[in-house]
Structure 1
């Protein structure tokens, strides 16, 4: 923190901080299996952990939000390849590491 006193003394300064404790159960061990043709492949995702509701991101965009059952199947079009996948606890930045599937 910095304070400038060009307009007089700085007095009665109150500093408040807020933080959130990260979830202890972040999705992890993300794996992707690809089936089908390159033009229209099916990616089968599986992971461990995470909270009850998760977001699934494809190339940085949420493509699914729903109950966490540890798996998801998604049809991927050629223009979406290479596909960068990530699983997050819903509406948070608590995410698995990114995984790339071609």
Structure 2
């Protein structure tokens, strides 16, 4: 039976695994670099889902369930279209 070296950095039982630290550092740096973009994405998603849910519940109350799914799927091109037009408007200024 082989003994594990306590100074070996690849020891799977070591609670301070350097891979985990690197992952946490990468996630932290990614979030700090893209904070406003991530916030905009989250805000768009919340507004889109809320709007679609309200439309489906009140305006299209008698519509079948697939209408809700189609409205939700329409959020994908709406997202890209909105942010592409926003980028185009910023360049035009």
Which structure has the bigger radius of gyration?
A: 2
Q: Which of structures 1 and 2 has the larger relative contact order (alpha carbons within 8 angstroms, sep 6+)? A: 1
TM more than 0.5: no
TM-score by length of 1: 0.28
Structure with the higher helix share, 1 or 2? 2
